[in-house]
Amino acid sequence: MLEYGIGNGRIALPIARDGARVTGVDRSTPMLTDLRARLAEEPASVRSRVKVRRGDMRTVAIDTRFPLVICPFNTALHLYTRHDVEAWLARVRDHIAPRGELVLDVNMPIIEDLADPPGTEYALPPFVHPTRGRVRYREIFDYDRVRQIQFCSMCFSPMRKDGRGTKDDELVTPLAHRVFFPQELEALLHYNGFETTQIHGDFEGGPLRQDSDVMVFHARPRRSR
């Protein structure tokens, strides 16, 4: 199978341990460095089943067609414009077997959250950050209604001994997610040569519902375009 946005192999490694071959594409050097370090800990049989290509999912060309192409955990939300989506789906068409399947999952938009005023903050429970130790964590949101992009600042404040967070050496990581509505995503797939065969609202095969927080799309290349 082919995974777009393989990251550090969170999904690919268990699949490879199960015996399937995975080719992964990702443009992030730190993610792929982490993946290579994790692969080094695996038995040779698992390592031999994982191939990695660094590059952009909109342009990378691989000389193989795959029966299954996946794009999990919001990777498709890094496609911000119609041109980005068109370029990526053209690559998927290049790499999918004639009766192959494309599966992707993205957040279901929550209208109430998108209506929050710019700069709305949410505090989440403290946790241990891999490099900053125990941190207070908050997210600040700013939704661009024209471009349909949710900008999020992820703020990690190392905790002092008294348990309070300090903003002096706060680490702020930006994240931008395109917001796709269900019918919009189905239309984008359709007009780029795919037939949506199933849309689920969870990872157990349940239907997409009003209160689902994830959309899992299954699609196949359309026979007549």
Ligand X SMILES: C[S@@+](CC[C@H](N)C(=O)[O-])C[C@H]1O[C@@H](n2cnc3c(N)ncnc32)[C@H](O)[C@@H]1O
31: contact with ligand X by CB under 6 A: yes
Window contacting ligand X (CB under 6 A); options: 15-23, 51-59, 113-121, 135-143: 51-59
Contact characters 108-147, ligand X, x per CB under 6 A: ----------------------------------------
Q: How many residues does the chain have?
A: 225
105: contact with ligand X by CB under 6 A: no
102: contact with ligand X by CB under 6 A: no
Q: Which two tokens stand for residue 142?
A: 């700013």
CA 12 from centroid of its chain's CA atoms: 13
Contact characters 62-101, ligand X, x per CB under 6 A: ----------xxxx--x-----------------------
Under rule CB under 6 A, which residues in 145-174 are in contact with ligand X?
Answer: none
Minimum distance between the CB of residue 157 and ligand X, rounded to whole angstroms? 23
Contact 59, 27 (CB under 8 A): no
26: contact with ligand X by CB under 6 A: yes
DSSP 80-127: -SHHHHHHHHHHHHHHEEEEEEEEEEEEPP-HHHHTSPTTEEEEEEEE
Q: Which is nearer to ligand X, 44 or 61 (CB)?
A: 61
Q: Where are the beta strands (DSSP E) in the chain?
A: 2-4, 22-26, 50-54, 66-71, 96-107, 120-129, 133-144, 149-158, 171-178, 194-200, 214-221
Number of residues that bind ligand X (CB under 6 A): 18
Window contacting ligand X (CB under 6 A); options: 24-32, 113-121, 152-160, 216-224: 24-32
Which stretches of the chain bind ligand X, using CB under 6 A? 5-7, 10-11, 25-28, 31, 56-58, 72-75, 78
